[in-house]
Structure 1
């Protein structure tokens, strides 16, 4: 069995509206609560990082699945949108929608590429970690 260990370190001084420093691998970023949630809006925040982790994982998983199935990808764009609901002071990450645009070579099987793009949503490690807690949706477009 192979296990991979990842580490992060946060320096945070003060209360809710302070600004912290996050270091995790190559990531070195300021962190705070976003302005839309009445914070200072400096650097990134957990909502953006979760969306970034999910969309990064989805993109890498899809690229690998296409490659393993001999579907040649010229270009992949994934725009992700996250919805966080605030009800009675409770913040709940509700939904992530991936807007996927794939440009394939002329020889590639578009039908199979679309099936793989849908399957990648439930195949990546981050999607599996949030499964049952956050709704996932994938909207796929093949570019010519």
Structure 2
């Protein structure tokens, strides 16, 4: 695994904000308003969920490519909840669109990739070891899609 190096710069107090920069990205960060901050940037839980979502989606894309499936669209929503009863829970909702001439076998292969990508995502697996629940509710359809990740 490659080393990860980040640079974080903070301006001001809890009402301030900052930036975090790594290889290939830079984003604003801030303490959420609900915790007394400015809310003018990404907050830690959002960054954590975005790491899980990007890992899962990139793993899924690689698996779909390996299976030589003709994907015409791939989008995904993710949501996270945190409660005393259920703990921290992330649900990914991938939506794969295969070409109009996709066979039943290709649709089944895409559905298997949805499940396999969850098992193959290193970030998700690390979070699961910390008792984070990760659920996948995927959908495969045939036709014309938009937004290939």
CA drift at 1:100: 1.2
Is 1:118 matched with 2:115?
yes
Structure 1: stretches of 5+ with no match in the other structure: none
> Residue 93 of structure 2 is aligned with which of 95, 99, 111?
99
Is 1:129 matched with 2:126?
yes
Paired residues for 1:64-83 under 5 Å: 64-83=62-81
2:14 and 2:36 in contact (8 A); partners too: no
Structure 2: stretches of 5+ with no match in the other structure: 143-149
CA drift at 1:116: 1.2
Paired residues for 1:22-101 under 5 Å: 22-85=20-83, 94-101=88-95
TM-score when normalising by structure 2? 0.81
Q: Matched residue pairs, number? A: 138
The change in CA–CA distance for 1:38 and 1:84 in structure 2 (over 3 A counts) is farther
Post-superposition Cα deviations, 1:2-33, rounded to whole Å, max 9, x if no partner, equal: x4112101122554443222121232222111
1:142 match: 140
Once residues 124 and 112 of structure 1 are traced to their aligned partners in structure 2, the CA distance between those partners, rounded to angstroms, is 18
**What SS is found at the alignment partner of 1:100?**
strand
CA drift at 1:93: 6.4
> Larger RCO: Structure 1 or Structure 2 (Cα < 8 Å, ≥ 6 residues apart)?
2
1:82 and 1:93 in contact (8 A); partners too: no
